Structure 1
Amino acid sequence: MNQPLITAIAEGDFSAILNITSQLTDSERYSTITAIKALDPYSEKDFPRKNIDKKNTYRHNYKVFQAHNYTLITMVREENDIAKVMIDKKNYIGEPYQVTPYAILGSFYFEPIINYFTQFPPDNYIKKVLKERYNKEIDGLSFGFQWYFYKKGWIPFEEERFVKNLLEINMGSRSVTADAQFLFQYPEAIEKVLLQLYRIETKVLDLSKWKSDNPSSKMSTSGVAKVTTYWDEVFELLVHYGYQIPRSFVGQLLESLLNQWKKPHLDWHCRLLKWLAPTQEELLAHQQTLFAVLGTGVGSVVKTVMEYIVSIANAPQFDFEGFMQQFPLAFTVDKQPKALLQGVEILAKEFKKHPPTDVSYREQLAVLFTQPDVKLQEAVAELLTTYFNQKGLPEVIAPYRDYLKGKAQNLLATLSPSESSAPSDLSDSSASSEKSQTACAAHTLTPIIYPLTPNETLFLIGDCIREKSAATIDVFFDVLVRLQDQIPADYAEQIKPYLKQLLAREWFVGTMPLLYLFLDSWSNQSATPLVYDTDKEWKEIQKLYKEDKYTQADKLDKPRVMHIAANQAKEAFPYLFNKIARTLQKLKEKDTLPFLSTPTHEPFYIEAEVLVDKLLQYEAQGKAPDLDDLIVACNRLLFWEVSAAAKEKAQQLKGDYAPAIQYYLGLTDKIQLNEALLPLWTQITRLKHPDEEFKVFENTQAKNILSVVKPFYIRYGWEKRTYANGEVGEEFTYHCNHYYKYKNKKSRPALYNYYNANEGEHTSAQEAEYKLSLNPHYPDAILCAYIALWATMNEADQVRDMTLPLEAVLRYDLRVRHSGWLYIGACLLFEKRPSRDLAYEYICQAIARGEDLTHLKTYLANVLAWDYLPILRFIEFLDRPNPPAVKAFGKEVIQLYLEEVKKQNKLPRNHKKLVAFID
């Protein structure tokens, strides 16, 4: 064994390594390769360390690891040597695989490799190395090597790939100093790659970890930070080394603020601009860009730009007309009253010199009254009364009267418009008389047009993928069953493009993986849904990866991901999986009887007479309907608007379900329990009489399921939790939320898991519209499963949970009645504004309908008094230009809050601000 080489590797001395390996004969090289490959770079026995501080152990081990790789590749002289330096390994189950020492090309050890390539040019084998390390599947080069290989002519310059490779920082793989020194050495790379960050979007918002010699590095206590911090340090080092950043970069960064990128990304560009300190001449040269940025709607960016505009507003070259035209685009931006006030002051100063002549501009200025800031409103009011006090000003201001505060409020008193222009109270008497049933009826809904030909039926698959709605998915299965005799023999070929289309995207667990499962099963002529062995598929993919067949492996991985989603969707969407199984069975048995739950009217409702007709068809053929299908059909039924013909036909029903259907359609008030049909009875009784207590179920196996005996009400509040480390804390819990499912679930019929009680089952919010279609008349339990469990720091999934279901509720005018109000209240106080806006709209509509909001008021008062959800979010609701009925609702919540807060040990934050609204 070459002891000096072992020592050089252990010390991470790359220069010594090259000095030793470059002098080896061919036979010595090959024997050394064999010996070095057998050693473990992380073993202190194989590579004894000396005088390494404990805190530096991790970094030094990484250095030894790369020194080990470097040793092997420096003994390569020709293409045949590459296979010799590959390191043989075995995984945890004993399967062999190989590791390449050329992984060092992804590190920041640039100089040692270049020294080796200079001494032993790799021209005769570098293409083989790059084929494995730099292809469409793998970006296996750090930027230094990427740039070097490009300049050597070994790889082409692909701008976007280069920019992303430079700017995106993998965990622990980069060094600020190394990158700064490299870029300073190659200024062409700065201008051609680094400074293109203004127009190529990269993942600079990711958290990462890197090596930094900067004592003031902005790393968190956990040693990680956003990648933007990395590049802040690199820029500072470049300037420290003497590099002068081109001033054209200022204009490019200003232009980048118009990009539709994430706010934190644009904020970084704003910080870079402040660091570059644009001169007045530069800002004036780009003032039209500054004005355009005002319309982006990004508050922090508007604030930065307004500061620049203020700094040039007194310059003779300032384009006031351009500013005046673009400024209104910023009037609705949130939480930037200071920036907007600065803009108004620019207007006031110029109007004082040159009074405005365009009277219509006051209509745009009046929009600023929607901003709650008192000083801003006063400045706008003064501007309007001083320069726009011509005829018609009262009518311009009238729509904003509910927004006015302080001195601005006096403006409306002196400029009172006609009574006819005042907005009406939400609580209209005619609206309050509306019943709480879902606001739809068969004669006002759009009938669904069913496909009449086999080709139209197959084309409907595309609509299913695009819309993912009950009006497409359920209709497709129904029509396919009815027209199965006419389906062309080559249907398997015709649906291949749809299978390919489904595989092209990664779907959440839900409808689309199940649609894929059906199409895959049907095209394979299976009479039952296929069962996917994803573990076996994964082993096949692993084998291909070991053989470096990345393209083939990735090709197999897409179906595997879909198969996993389909397997999981069986549990998440039992109704749709059951329908798939029933469809395949019907196709096998040539059964053309229709599904009962297929919607007849948009978006997912069923006319009563149609359901009764279908049941009579089943009875005529002596077949019993599927219970799951019948329950969803009843859930979707327009049961309060039943024609005389439907009632007459319902009297003819003979099946064991007949009493339930006759009860549901209003032919009888008698509940005739049947153990086999217990899920149906528990469903329709709650739908027909949502507020009643049904003691008839107290002696059944369903008695303890929420919504069966009593309406759906769940518990919520702070509960003590004992954690794994023994510590005791408190967590806010919603029972029957998807994290707190009922125990002993398997002991109850599966059908109970999905409808009025929902069992806390949670599916992706992107599937909420379809799931709500399964029980549109009583969506409370479905909605409760989407309530976010945290007051702040919610992830993207929780943001969708608190937005998409509520959008569907509003879109289809659905009603919540009991604990569904918890979801509405949680959305009203959620950390993201879109959810709060949606909840506000729903509450206003409910007040207009005269609904009982007692449960919502109590919930809001409790979560505020218990200091769970922030008071400031409710103050935002109170600050809106609310009609009297909504204001009264807000005050009632505060009164309940005051009663509840007396029971607490301490007052919540911002208590005084909330109490001030009582006055």
Structure 2
Amino acid sequence: KDMAGWFAEFFETLQPTAGELLSLQEEIMKIFTSSYTKPVNIMLQQLKNIATEEGFRYQEFIERTTSLFFSSPKNALLTLYSIFEKIVAQHPEMKEPCCITLCQLFLKKDESLQKKAANFISKYGNVSSSKLQETLQSYQPEILQSAQAILASFKPQSAEPHLAEEANATEDILHTICREDNRIPFPADKEDFLFQLSRLFDMEENWEIETTIAAIIAFHPQLDKEDLNRMEPIFQRAANMVANSWEPYEDLLATFLLEYQRLWAQTDNSNTGVLRNMFTRLEEKLKGIDKNRGAYDERSFKRLADWKPGYSNATCFTPIQQLWLNVIRQIKGGNSLPLLSTPTHTPAYLQATELIRRLAVYQEAGKKPCSWDFQLAIARCAMEDKEEAIVTARQLLHDEYLHLCLFLLDENTQPEPPYNHPTAWVAAGLVKAPETEFKAFKSFSCNTLPHNHLTGNYEWKEVKPKENSYETDRRLLQLDFHKWHKYIERNSHQLWQEHLIINSKYNMDDSRYMEPLLCCYPNRPEPLIAQIISNYMAFGTPQEDSKRTLACALRMLLSFHCPLKEMSLLLLSGSLLFVDKTVRSYAAELWVEGLTAGRINNRRVGEILARLINMELAPLKRFTTQVYESMYKRSAFHNHQLEELLTVFISGLPDKPVTGLKQLLELYLELLTINRSKVTNEQLLQRLQEWATNSNLKKVTTSLNKL
């Protein structure tokens, strides 16, 4: 706590400029998950300084501050309030989202805070908005009389249970994938590029790394000997990483950069031959002069084409390695065609019209794009504004590129030959309709695995620890794919997804490169989510890497816009029961956001939770506590969704009352009272009748039956 506070004060003491703060928004907002109030307070003050600046990520700010209303002291809440004031002044279209978010202040029993929220809503709220009225209705029992008087003109109506459609339509502005405020900037000129390259190993976001690599292709023809001298520190740093790093993604990135440096070394005719000397020194060091490295000398500096992870046979990085090898080949061959897959919008989306324009450049040049690049571009394609993209495709593309884009974007278009890019066609099918096995693709040489391996649609069951094993944790998922060697035999090695089935937790490690892997699948992350569950969702005493990886996966799912399928729903449900509070908090936020955006099958979450409790994997109290802290009373809509979730969940619990059931039933009773509902589910009514014989549960079950 003291250290976190010291660094927060240090940040403040450095007096960052507006430009610096704007460039650090992602890092600053990550601090909102801190369990300490001081760093959060200081970062809110910093963001307040840039709330009126162009480039302030106001939509993301509104989304990510939701959890702060539950845990922050009054001074932080007042800062939040003043930032919301600045946002609506600059962006009038955000009035309703801000009003709805600030309703959470009514959960505080502080009259001044409640009056501030009421005044804000009275000033900026739309009296005729049914969504705002319903939200206010859900907070009615909590709103003090003085605040009620300010809100008299709103006269909220009784909440109706069928709110899903309106809720989905209301927040469209927050759920557009490609917006101006999340557009990824490309280096404006050579100076901008050189600065960006110098930060390559310090970049937090994967899209920054990818943009920099794409920029190497664009700016390499403009670079001269003086620029090379300026790049030497980053090359030297890459050499040190190859010599000392054990993190595969970092090692791969450094190897790529040294491979790029070799292109310069071949033209280094100066007297000193600085680059050649650097390679000689590095290779000598790694050939055994440094005896302490022992057996690991063999993984020393190799060419990018020969790179492998230092201590495993994992193939999950092979497609990235192949993609970067293609970048080297392009630069070497003087080919400055753009990479198709470089994302245009955070965290990893590619605008459909931009993909079409890039394909048109290849079409005009008569060049064939790299298969890995083409697959990745399709996997990242933002599935929105399809009509505009289809019009653009008809204008700019012809033959196979046109047919492929129409198949991807138009629901009614089927595959049409020729199929000169079979892996791209399969990738398009997996984005468009993952449940469908297209007959046209069955004969492709790349289509060798059972379809569910590519979609991540696995059966799951609890995995109990083996006897006499050092692993004591019970795990949540045993994937049903073939034994590793049999899988390798059947793998065509041509599809990006085929490289994801990983036979060991240690081949995957933690969130340092979990994010780059997830960023390959913003539309359909299920195959990788299945791997994460299989390797990291352990119920017992999890390691730190498990906590980091699960939190990273949930955070990435929060930033994506895809519907959550079975594996993601299993990750969400398991995380709501996980021992680590940060993981549970992310899961709760994913539930809230996912329902608002229409991404979640709520009933299925209830069924999975019941099944996990029946497996006796975790205490029920963890879930009940998390619901009280961050899922209950979020809005009228969410209260009705929570009622549906709990109805399914409680109906599926064991006949014999589990520990903590009384608290869950008391929460359910409160929720039904607020929603003005009663128990109608036949299975649940029968359960309540059985549990009424238990003296500890008799009072709450009787109250539920009387509603």
* TM-score, normalising length: structure 1: 0.48
Deviation at 1:523, TM superposition (A): 1.8
Equivalent in the alignment of 1:679:
423
- Equivalent of residue 648 in structure 2, options 890, 896, 900: 896
Q: Is the 8 A contact 1:780 1:820 kept in 2?
A: yes
- Equivalent of residue 516 in structure 1, options 254, 258, 269: 254
Equivalences for residues 31-46 of structure 1 within 5 A: none
Equivalent in the alignment of 2:528:
782
CA distance in 1, matches of 2:400, 2:116: 70
- Equivalent of residue 875 in structure 1, options 621, 624, 627: 624
* AA in 2 matched with 1:610: E
CA distance in 1, matches of 2:228, 2:338: 23
CA distance in 2, matches of 1:499, 1:576: 20
Equivalent in the alignment of 1:846:
594
SS in 2 for 1:637: coil
CA distance in 2, matches of 1:771, 1:691: 22
* AA in 1 matched with 2:253: L
Equivalent in the alignment of 1:219:
none
Equivalences for residues 399-418 of structure 1 within 5 A: 418=151
Equivalent in the alignment of 1:862:
611
Equivalent in the alignment of 2:540:
792
Question: Does 2:550 match 1:802?
Answer: yes
Q: Is the 8 A contact 2:462 2:476 kept in 1?
A: yes
Q: Is the 8 A contact 1:650 1:658 kept in 2?
A: yes
Equivalences for residues 202-601 of structure 1 within 5 A: 258=2, 418=151, 420=154, 427=163, 429-433=165-169, 439-442=175-178, 444=180, 446-489=182-225, 491-501=227-237, 509-525=247-263, 537=286, 539-542=288-291, 571-601=315-345
Task: Decide whether aligned partners of structure 1 residues 437 and 798 sit closer, same or farther in structure 2, where only a CA change above 3 A counts.
Answer: farther
1:435-455 CA-to-partner distances (Å, cap 9, x unmatched) read: 999933546455444335444
Question: Does 2:458 match 1:705?
Answer: no
Deviation at 1:801, TM superposition (A): 0.9
Structure 1 unaligned spans of 5+: 1-256, 263-294, 299-330, 335-365, 371-380, 546-552
CA distance in 1, matches of 2:548, 2:157: 33
Deviation at 1:736, TM superposition (A): 4.2
* AA in 2 matched with 1:591: N
Q: How many residues are paired up?
A: 533
* AA in 2 matched with 1:892: E
CA distance in 2, matches of 1:639, 1:668: 15
Equivalent in the alignment of 2:518:
772
Task: Decide whether aligned partners of structure 1 residues 486 and 619 sit closer, same or farther in structure 2, where only a CA change above 3 A counts.
Answer: same
Deviation at 1:588, TM superposition (A): 1.9
Q: Is the 8 A contact 1:878 1:887 kept in 2?
A: no
Equivalent in the alignment of 1:325:
none
Deviation at 1:627, TM superposition (A): 1.1
* AA in 2 matched with 1:582: N
- Equivalent of residue 823 in structure 1, options 562, 571, 577: 571
1:590-627 CA-to-partner distances (Å, cap 9, x unmatched) read: 22222111223444332333323332332333322111
Deviation at 1:500, TM superposition (A): 4.0
Structure 2 unaligned spans of 5+: 7-34, 39-69, 74-103, 122-134, 267-278, 669-703
SS in 2 for 1:670: coil
Equivalent in the alignment of 2:497:
754
Task: Decide whether aligned partners of structure 1 residues 818 and 805 sit closer, same or farther in structure 2, where only a CA change above 3 A counts.
Answer: same
SS in 1 for 2:532: coil
Question: Does 2:384 match 1:634?
Answer: no
Task: Decide whether aligned partners of structure 1 residues 582 and 730 sit closer, same or farther in structure 2, where only a CA change above 3 A counts.
Answer: closer
Equivalences for residues 620-699 of structure 1 within 5 A: 620-642=364-386, 644=388, 647=391, 649-650=393-394, 653=397, 656=400, 658-666=402-410, 669-672=413-416, 677-690=421-434, 694=438
Task: Decide whether aligned partners of structure 1 residues 805 and 667 sit closer, same or farther in structure 2, where only a CA change above 3 A counts.
Answer: closer
1:407-450 CA-to-partner distances (Å, cap 9, x unmatched) read: xx899699966564989979564332489999335464554443
Deviation at 1:875, TM superposition (A): 0.7
Equivalent in the alignment of 2:659:
909
Equivalent in the alignment of 1:734:
477
Equivalent in the alignment of 1:886:
638
Task: Decide whether aligned partners of structure 1 residues 866 and 742 sit closer, same or farther in structure 2, where only a CA change above 3 A counts.
Answer: farther
Equivalent in the alignment of 1:606:
350
Larger deviation: 673-682 or 765-774?
A: 673-682
Deviation at 1:261, TM superposition (A): 9.9
1:284-325 CA-to-partner distances (Å, cap 9, x unmatched) read: xxxxxxxxxxx9679xxxxxxxxxxxxxxxxxxxxxxxxxxx
CA distance in 2, matches of 1:474, 1:764: 20
* AA in 2 matched with 1:847: L
Of the two structures, which has the highest relative contact order with CA contacts closer than 8 Å and spacing of 6 or more? 2
Q: Is the 8 A contact 1:864 1:897 kept in 2?
A: no
SS in 1 for 2:462: strand
1:121-158 CA-to-partner distances (Å, cap 9, x unmatched) read: xxxxxxxxxxxxxxxxxxxxxxxxxxxxxxxxxxxxxx
Q: Which one has a larger percent helix, Structure 1 or Structure 2? A: 2
CA distance in 2, matches of 1:393, 1:592: 56
Q: Considering only CA atoms, is the larger Rg found in Structure 1 or Structure 2?
A: 1
Q: Is the 8 A contact 2:345 2:351 kept in 1?
A: yes
CA distance in 1, matches of 2:171, 2:521: 19
CA distance in 2, matches of 1:518, 1:671: 36
Task: Decide whether aligned partners of structure 1 residues 665 and 577 sit closer, same or farther in structure 2, where only a CA change above 3 A counts.
Answer: same
Q: Is the 8 A contact 1:445 1:602 kept in 2?
A: no
Deviation at 1:796, TM superposition (A): 1.0
SS in 2 for 1:734: coil
Q: Is the 8 A contact 1:448 1:599 kept in 2?
A: yes
SS in 1 for 2:539: coil
Q: Is the 8 A contact 2:472 2:540 kept in 1?
A: no
CA distance in 1, matches of 2:580, 2:364: 55
CA distance in 2, matches of 1:680, 1:595: 15
Seq. identity, %: 15
Equivalent in the alignment of 2:696:
none
Q: Is the 8 A contact 2:473 2:538 kept in 1?
A: no
Deviation at 1:848, TM superposition (A): 2.2
* AA in 2 matched with 1:734: L
Q: Is the 8 A contact 2:286 2:300 kept in 1?
A: no
Task: Decide whether aligned partners of structure 1 residues 910 and 663 sit closer, same or farther in structure 2, where only a CA change above 3 A counts.
Answer: same
Q: Is the 8 A contact 2:283 2:301 kept in 1?
A: no
SS in 1 for 2:225: coil
1:885-909 CA-to-partner distances (Å, cap 9, x unmatched) read: 434444434443444444x7x6543
SS in 1 for 2:414: coil
CA distance in 2, matches of 1:446, 1:917: 39
* TM-score, normalising length: structure 2: 0.61
* AA in 2 matched with 1:466: D
Equivalent in the alignment of 1:715:
459
Q: Is the 8 A contact 1:478 1:595 kept in 2?
A: yes
Aligned-residue CA RMSD in angstroms? 5.3
